[in-house]
Amino acid sequence: MQDIRNRLGVFFAFSGPTLLWLILFFVVPLGIIWLYSFGENVSLTRIETTWTLDNYRRMLEPEIIELMRRSLWLAFVSTLVCLLVGFPMALVIATASHGAKPWLLLLIMLPFWTNLLIRTYALLNILGTRGRLNDLLGWLYERADQLLHLIGLGRLGLLGDQFTPLKLLGTQTGVIYGIVYVSLPFAILPIYSSLERMDKSLLEASMDLGASQWQTARHVLIPLALPGIMTAAIITFIPALGQFLTPDLLGRGQVDMIANVIERQFKRANDWPFGSAISLTLLYVTFILLALRSFNDAARSRRVAR
Amino acid sequence: MPRFKRSSTAGPFDYSRKPLLRIVFILGTVFLYAPIIVLIIFSFNNSRRGGNIIWKGFTTKYYTKAFGNEELMLAFANSLTIAVVSTIISVILGALTAIVLWRFRFPLKPMFEGLVSLPIVIPEICMGVSLAMFFSTMGWMQTGDTAWPFNLSNIIIAHITFSFPFAAMVIRTRLQSFNREMEEAAKDLGASEFRVFVDILLPHMKPGLIAGALLAFTLSLDDFVITFFTSGPNTVTFPVKIYSMVRFSVTPEINAASTVLIIMTLLLTFIALRYQRIDTTP
């Protein structure tokens, strides 16, 4: 680590381009939509910043409140599913043999490198009413039906008259399926790295002191992995909340999330000020979540230090 | 000599050997891979319309059709051009950023660090929208009369903005393993600051630079949302083109084109792994 006082020239040569780039292409653009969010459309192409709060007031309209509620709910459920599925998967990788570990990690990461649009598009084939998932469920239904007939319960019609395919495209379930699908690797990695760093002797100590497997998992394993689980929750939730493609392609316009409404303001409705206000609201929610996390981290390290 | 095999007896914490957890892992993996594998299989489906529903025999004609689709190929060429240019600039900016964060102590450093990591964390849609507004306010929105490849400059700028912070992170991690004694030894032997940089620091950074470049390249090829907002009517990238094709109708041609991109990504990943070597000791 070097002090910059006697090396100002070198310091600016290295930091200048980055700063300039970020200010010009990141801070200024955000500033522009911040200004627009207080603006009004004066003509088809001109927006004047009149410092009106109307765009933010419109955020309180019932449809937008409903949209926010739905987006938060879908992101929340998807995150929960990711954590519930991701934790056991991360646990398997973290306790696998040294030789297998990198390959299992690669196995999880590989789909993650595949284009997001293509992955979402691929789900169309899986989730359709005549898609592969319904094929599978229909097949399972047939087998279960045969089994029931075999043991003489066929007449009771326990499974209903016939298999009715699930409607997934255009429903909340389909969108949640899609968000889980694209963000599962995101959830697995941080949990994995916190489990990996964990001191395994603590688990043994817990068992030696007479705790059961389940008690050890509940009172030792999960609390120790909690920082990783929190990180996983945040980095799954934030992109999930801003998802555009999944609700767009799998929701078929029936299950809009925040990003879809933002897109409509800019691409079709041509209401840039309102679109800017929604974008900034999404941005503020993100900042609050990030702040909560760093607040949480700080509280934790204070507790550890004590 | 008989070896004591500890691995054959599952201890209470060999979670990877518990049947229930194994089943969850296997099902999770199937969940992740099945759609991609089905997509690849259906790219060979000999069915004209709604090619995703029923299997009608094997054909490779949709690959021929995809490669013969001029718009699709132009979009693909655009994507590659954007990826190459934005990768080069991202690696340079990323390396500079990484060196600043690794080497210097300065006032407001946490702010600098926060600013650099912001493009990683903010929602894509916000970045897409803000860049679109920026370009249109500056009057930089492409109208269609700019010559190729200059009409791609907006998209390239956008891609650099979101990918160089990732490259910086990867390069910074690599720099942390740099042995400062090497540098001091070189200086003691009379090397100038510049020589130290070129002959010692740069070779040490090389794996990080390559890893950062591959990451930036993949991110650029992968991006849809930000490109969707910053592209003009005549500057279509591969994902944007696929998106408009999907919106229009689902055809086996999209499956074929997607399969080509998936295979390209796989190849890139394996190249990346060869450079990075899979780390067995985390």
- Please tell me whether residue A303 adopts helix, strand or coil conformation: helix
Q: Tell me how far apart the terminal alpha carbons of chain B are, to the nearest angstrom.
A: 31
Q: What is the pLDDT of residue A55?
A: 85
Nearest to B65 by CA among B74, B73, B54, B57: B73
- Please tell me whether residue A252 adopts helix, strand or coil conformation: coil
CA B69 to CA A91: how far, in whole Å? 46
The tokens describing A144, both together, are 């279960």
Q: What is the pLDDT of residue B7?
A: 42
Q: What is the pLDDT of residue A67?
A: 92
B138 confidence band (pLDDT: 50, 70, 90) = confident
Q: Which chain B residues are Cβ-neighbours of A25 within 8 angstroms?
A: 131, 134, 157-158, 160-161
A215 touches chain B (CB under 8 A): no
Q: What is the pLDDT of residue A204?
A: 78
Nearest to A90 by CA among B55, B29, B145, B255: B29
B161 confidence band (pLDDT: 50, 70, 90) = very high
The reply to whether residue A131 touches residue B52, judged by beta carbons under 8 angstroms, is yes
The reply to whether residue A85 touches residue B24, judged by beta carbons under 8 angstroms, is yes
CB interface of A with B, residues 239-268, below 8 Å: 239, 241-242, 244-245, 249, 258-259, 262-263, 266
Give tens-digit pLDDT for A42-70.
776 777 788 888 888 888 889 899 999 99
A153 touches chain B (CB under 8 A): no
Q: What is the pLDDT of residue A2?
A: 60
| B149 prior amide bond cis, ω within 30 | yes
Domain A55-114+172-305, what architecture? Orthogonal Bundle (1.10)
- Segment B114-124 shows an average pLDDT of 90
The reply to whether residue B96 touches residue A18, judged by beta carbons under 8 angstroms, is yes
Q: What is the pLDDT of residue B279?
A: 42
The reply to whether residue B129 touches residue A262, judged by beta carbons under 8 angstroms, is yes
Q: What is the pLDDT of residue A23?
A: 94
Length, in residues, of chain B: 282
Q: Of A24-33, B14-23, B88-97, which range is least confident?
A: B14-23
CA A28 to CA A33: how far, in whole Å? 9
The reply to whether residue B129 touches residue A30, judged by beta carbons under 8 angstroms, is no
Spatial CB neighbours of B137, under 8 Å, sequence gap ≥ 6:
A32
B11 confidence band (pLDDT: 50, 70, 90) = low
Q: What is the pLDDT of residue B143?
A: 61
Q: What is the pLDDT of residue B271?
A: 78
The tokens describing A27, both together, are 């801070």
Nearest CA in chain B to A84: B24
Q: Of A22-36, A209-223, B161-175, B194-208, which range is least confident?
A: A209-223
Q: Which chain A residues are Cβ-neighbours of B221 within 8 angstroms?
A: 115
Q: What is the pLDDT of residue A1?
A: 56
The alpha-carbon gap from B100 to the nearest alpha carbon of chain A, in Å, equals 6
The reply to whether residue B39 touches residue A122, judged by beta carbons under 8 angstroms, is yes
CA B25 to CA B40: how far, in whole Å? 23
Q: What is the pLDDT of residue A279?
A: 94
Q: What is the pTM of this model?
A: 0.86
The tokens describing A108, both together, are 């999880």
- Segment B68-75 shows an average pLDDT of 87
Question: Which of B6, B25, B54, B173 to mutate against chain A (most A CBs within 10 Å)?
Answer: B25
| Residue showing tokens 């389909």 | A174
Q: What is the pLDDT of residue A244?
A: 93
Q: Which chain B residues are Cβ-neighbours of A207 within 8 angstroms?
A: 12
- Low-confidence residues of chain A, pLDDT below 50? none
Q: Which chain B residues are Cβ-neighbours of A33 within 8 angstroms?
A: 126, 129-130, 133
A114 touches chain B (CB under 8 A): yes
